[in-house]
Amino acid sequence: MKPLYFIGIDPGSHTKEEALSGGAALLNIRGACLDTFSWTGELKDASDKILLWQQQTKWRTVAALERVWGVKGWGVTTMSKLMTNYGEWRGILVSNRLYPFENPAPQLWQDEFRKAYIEVKGEMPEIILNGLRFEKSIKALIWDMARTYYPEVELILQPKSKRGKPKPLTGISDALMIGRWLFNQYIKD
């Protein structure tokens, strides 16, 4: 039986600078966003939201949780929180009968959108919003695509990164595009 709904999840790292770095998004069979959830680190809130989505969709849902691993240069605290969040999301998915789930590496799902974006626009985006210039990066590209696909969803901005440059806060935008990637996998078949 083919699924009718798709959940994309960015587990987030929740450093002090990025208190809302993770998120989840629910898409329907047409790829439209039905709901989003900003991950604050509260396990019960996330579990309740996934259960509610499962009940609303009559258990016709599949999920994709972004795979995580250690990255050279990241701090111990950030990596520890990222791995903890990833494990907690795995538990939430399994306990809500969303197993097996897709577990794409960031490069896998991001590359699909990077290629499509560059094919249409010719280069990585430079985003200027409310007078702030955001650095060119894959995160900015994903944020811009999420804004294009889902203009009705409010995407949060973080005015400064650790290096003092503005950047988009990507929990919801990543979750939306992970959900979109999952949707694309099922639509291809």
Compute the chain's Rg from CA coordinates. Answer: 16
User: Residue 138: its pLDDT value, please?
Assistant: 81
Residue 186 DSSP SS3: helix
Q: Counting runs of H as helices and runs of E as strands, what totals does the chain give?
A: 5, 8
Number of domains within the chain = 1
Q: Which residues contact 137 (CB under 8 A, 6 or more apart)?
A: 124, 167
What gap in Å lies between CA 174 and CA 171, rounded to an integer? Answer: 5
Q: What is the DSSP string of 146-174?
A: HHHH-TTSPPPEES--TTS--EE--HHHH
CATH number at residue 123: 3.30.420.10
The pTM score is 0.87
* Domain boundaries, position 160: 5-188
Which stretches in the chain have pLDDT values below 50? 16-17
Q: Which two tokens stand for residue 19?
A: 């208190």
Give the pLDDT confidence of 91-109 residue by residue, as tens digits.
Answer: 999 999 999 999 999 999 9
What gap in Å lies between CA 139 and CA 104, rounded to an integer? Answer: 16
What distances in angstroms separate CA 170 from CA 18, 56, 107, one per listed residue?
10, 26, 15
**Closest residue by Cα to residue 86 from 40, 146, 22, 174:** 22
